[in-house]
Amino acid sequence: MDFDQILAKCGDFNRYQFMILALFGFINIIVSMHYFTQTVISFVPDHWCYHDKLVNMTYKQIGEIYAQFGEESSCTRLEDINGHNVTVSKEKCDKWIYNYDFGYRSMNTELNWVCDSAYKARIGQSLFFIGSVVGTLFYGLLSDKIGRVPALILSNFCGFAGDFSTIFTKSVGTFTLCRFISGLAADTNFYLMYIIVLEYIRPSMRTLGLNMAVGLFYCLGLVFTPWLAVLAGHWQIYLACTSLPILLVVLYYFVVQESAQWLVTRNDIDGAIVRLKRVAKFNGCRVTQAEFDEFRRHCQMTREMQGGDEKKTATLLDMFRTPRMRKNTLILFFKSMVITLCYDAVSRNVEGMGISPFIMFSLSALAVLPSSILLVLLQDRIGRKGMASGSLLVGGLFTAASGIAIAYQQHNHNAILLACLTIAARFGVAISYESGSQYATELIPTCVRGQGVAAVHVAGFAASFLAPYILWLGTFFKAAPSIILGVLFFAGSFVCLLLPETLNRSLPTTIEEGEVFGKGERMFDFPCLQHSHDDDEESDSELEKYKRKHSLIDAKQMESSSNGKRKQSLIDADREEQALKDAKH
């Protein structure tokens, strides 16, 4: 009796599964607020260089006076003002007048990190992504040592410490340090819970349950985030409101069971059975001790059979030793870098659109839920490759279109048009981001899946280091971020076509199987365009031949081993019988 069978007896889509899905939903809400904290505290409203004669004027009048300076209006210091006739000062501006959106005072406005000092906030964002790279590696390894649940709690506590300490920062040095600490939690504070939920849910319900939980609760958190800032009115109060709820994750230690599958891999079968008994009790299911003993025997037998197997010795470097595996691995790395970079940049690129960044942020966040629903409906029909490539292509088209619209309408932006294009781009990149993790997990052989998926995530976060600087280029040419991201979208869409399809295929378990997986498949082979099973059989023939060949070898070895054991048992029995006879005489 394997794990899925014993889990079905304990309940694989019952009360316990509904509870951990709800807890996973809470994780999605706090992760959405944590990940975009930097964006919200750095919102920069319309601002102009301070002058005594501007104090009693309306914001509209001030804007009309500065309009003649174009994009440099926010940073131009005036010597004298006589109606619309002004004299420009040669000195740099050191004080500004801010037109606060909804009365919200951001960190950038309070510390005057605008104009020549705007880069300071970008440095903090970059350190956040460096922290995420370090944290993904550290907590990923830690979760293999001490367990998923303790690593999840420690990761989220690190996020709390970083965000809460940011409240008290006043200099670039302390700010970047706090953002680095906060970044250590990024991704692991989400995907560790994702793994726990995935392992305790019936395989047929995983796509629906996980994607709908992400789509619903992550979308809810994103839509609510900017308005929580408006309600708080000040960036420090907002940080306190978003960081304190993270401490509730500590309570997960008492209600979320450790990954039973992970405990089995650690040879702690008794610990795994204890967790499964708790799940069965919570679900009201009765499982006999004999059934647990059968599961124990299965785990022990599997471990004995895999005693010298590659699954224990293969490493990430083995993915680069053979040509096709090396090509697929590098493409997965590049795809992750493009998707993560574009997702982050598109999500944060909510300023300079001619509409309040609070409204723009919430509107673009609304694309997350429909993207999850569409993913559930189409991914198993179109295929992983077609979904990944197509979603990136759509995101690239709309992102490039928004860049062209911004460039064409230099001063009079059509806010509605730009909002629609941005939301459409967010929709495309959200689909590709959600489907990307599943695609990589299926393509990477089982023996190196944990290390491989972690490395893919690290590559993505490393690329996100560039996101704030791409957006910063918008201060020189507003269309630059959209154009650059559009090109990256198209590049990612193309390389996805070079990967093999995984839908309805036997997935690779070893490096050798990964090397022959999808061999002979063409660039535009999509499951939705095939009218027979010929192409599937042809493209998967090499892997199937390899598996059949080694299955026969394993069967012969097992039969030989079994025969040897029977012969040895007969010899031992004869010896015991002879010993008894000798004793009688």
What's the pLDDT at 536? 44
Helix 172-183 × helix 148-166 angle, to 10° = 160
Model confidence at 403, pLDDT cuts 50, 70, 90, reads: confident
Pairwise CA distance, residues 485 & 368, whole Å: 19
The mean per-residue pLDDT over the stretch 508-516 comes to 79
Bridge partner list, 97: 48
What's the pLDDT at 311? 44
Sign of torsion over alpha carbons 303, 306, 312, 316: negative
Has residue 310 got a pLDDT over 60? Answer: no
Has residue 532 got a pLDDT over 50? Answer: no
Tokens of 230: 């408006």
The mean per-residue pLDDT over the stretch 274-302 comes to 93
What's the pLDDT at 553? 47
Torsion of CA 426, 430, 432, 436, to 10 degrees: 150
Tokens of 561: 């081993």
Model confidence at 296, pLDDT cuts 50, 70, 90, reads: very high
Q: Which residue has the higher pLDDT, 37 or 457?
A: 37
Q: Give pTM, 2 decimals.
A: 0.77
Q: Which residue has the higher pLDDT, 493 or 210?
A: 493
How, if at all, do strands 78-82 and 85-88 pair?
antiparallel
**Phi, psi angle pair for 96, to nearest 5°:** -130, 160
Q: Within 13 Å, how many C-alpha atoms sit on residue 283's CB side? A: 24
The mean per-residue pLDDT over the stretch 510-527 comes to 81
Pairwise CA distance, residues 533 & 464, whole Å: 40
Nearest to 385 by CA among 485, 526, 557: 526
Has residue 172 got a pLDDT over 90? Answer: yes
Has residue 24 got a pLDDT over 80? Answer: yes
The mean per-residue pLDDT over the stretch 507-535 comes to 73
Model confidence at 76, pLDDT cuts 50, 70, 90, reads: confident
Q: Is there a contact between 252 and 237 (Cβ–Cβ < 8 Å)? A: no
What's the pLDDT at 144? 77
Pairwise CA distance, residues 95 & 374, whole Å: 48
The string of pLDDT tens digits covering residues 546-558 is: 555 554 444 455 4
Tokens of 120: 């300071």
Q: Which residue has the higher pLDDT, 236 or 124?
A: 236
Q: Is there a contact between 308 and 300 (Cβ–Cβ < 8 Å)? A: no
Has residue 245 got a pLDDT over 90? Answer: yes
Model confidence at 379, pLDDT cuts 50, 70, 90, reads: confident
Q: Is there a contact between 29 and 221 (Cβ–Cβ < 8 Å)? A: yes
Average pLDDT, the chain: 83
Q: Is there a contact between 310 and 511 (Cβ–Cβ < 8 Å)? A: yes
Pairwise CA distance, residues 557 & 280, whole Å: 37
Has residue 271 got a pLDDT over 90? Answer: yes
Pairwise CA distance, residues 10 & 285, whole Å: 6
Pairwise CA distance, residues 471 & 122, whole Å: 9
The mean per-residue pLDDT over the stretch 437-466 comes to 78
What's the pLDDT at 583? 52
What's the pLDDT at 82? 81
